[in-house]
Amino acid sequence: MYFAALLARTEDGWEASDTELDDVETLSDLTDLAREASMDEDTVLVYIEQEDAWFGVIRVDGEEDPRIYISDASAAARSSYGEILLTDELLGREPGAEVEIAALEELVDLDGTEEDADDGADDRAAPAVTDLDLDHDPDAVPAGPIGELGILADLGLSEKELLTLRTDALVEIADALGAAEVLETVR
C-alpha cells in the first residue's frame, strides 16, 4: 500500500494535499506535478511511502533539478514508484550504460566464444570475456539510504535525524517543518 502527499511552502506556511500517482511514470512527471502545486516557485516536497518498506522525499525548488532521498534503495527498487526515483544519476551509474553493456554482450558470447568459432580452435589463444572480473553487477541497487541526506536540513530536519526515520516518517518530517496540523487534514 502506498501513500503520497505534497507539501508546498507558501507565504502563509505549508499547504498539504494527498496526491494520486496513477499518471506518474517518470521522475519528470513527478517533478511537473510538484511544480504545479507551487505558487511563485516555492519549495515543494513530495513524500511517497510504501507501508513498512521504504519512503522517499523529492524536493523541488522552482526550476532547479529535483533533489531526492530514499530510505531504503533496495526495497524501493522492488516498487513501481521507487523505480521512478532510482535514477542512473542517483545510483551513480552512467546514463546509457545498459545500452553499451547489451551491445558488448551481442558482440561476444558470454561463455567467451564467438558464435561461428571453429570447434578445433586453440582455447589458449586469447583471454575470454569471462576471464575478466564480471562479478560486479552494474544493475545492483545498494541496501539502505540513498540520495541527498541534507535535503531537509535547512527546513529543520538534520541529516542524522533523517537517517533515523523508519515508520511514520512523514509525521516526523511534518513536525520538523511545522506542518503537522496541515498534514493531518490529508492523512
- CB-based burial, 57-91: b 16+ in 10 Å, e otherwise: bbbbbeeeebbbbbbbbbbbbebebbebbbeeebb
What does the alpha-carbon distance between residue 175 and residue 184 come to, in Å, rounded to a whole number?
11
Distance, CA of 49 to CA of 37 (rounded, Å): 19
Where helices occur in 65-186 by DSSP H, the ranges are: 73-77, 80-85, 88-91, 97-107, 159-164, 169-177, 180-184
Region 54-82: mean pLDDT is 93
Q: Indicate if the alpha-carbon torsion angle 73, 79, 81, 86 is positive or negative.
A: positive
Higher pLDDT, 3 or 39: 3
Confidence band (pLDDT; 50, 70, 90) for 127?
Answer: very low
pLDDT of residue 155: 92
Note the pLDDT of residue 138.
53
pLDDT at 15 over 50: yes
Is residue 34 within 8 A of residue 127, CB to CB? The reply is no
77 Cβ partners below 8 Å, 6+ apart?
A: 83, 86, 141
Q: What is the pLDDT of residue 140?
A: 76
Q: Among 35-39, 72-76, 135-139, 181-185, name the one with the lowest average pLDDT.
A: 135-139
Question: How many other CB atoms are there within 10 angstroms of residue 24's CB atom?
Answer: 20
Q: What pLDDT does 102 receive?
A: 56
CB neighbours of residue 166 within 10 Å: 12
pLDDT at 114 over 60: no
Tell me, what's the pLDDT at 133?
41
Distance (Å, rounded) from C-alpha 136 to C-alpha 68?
A: 25
Task: Please give the model's pTM, rounded to 2 decimal places.
Answer: 0.75
Cell 558488448 sits at which residue?
104
Question: Where residue 182 falls among pLDDT bands split at 50, 70, 90?
Answer: confident
Higher-confidence position of 43 and 18: 43
CA 61 – CA 63 distance, rounded (Å)? 6
More reliable by pLDDT, 109 or 22:
22
Per-residue pLDDT tens digits for 129-152: 444 444 455 567 888 899 999 999
pLDDT at residue 67, rounded to an integer: 95
Torsion of CA 88, 92, 95, 97, to 10 degrees: -110
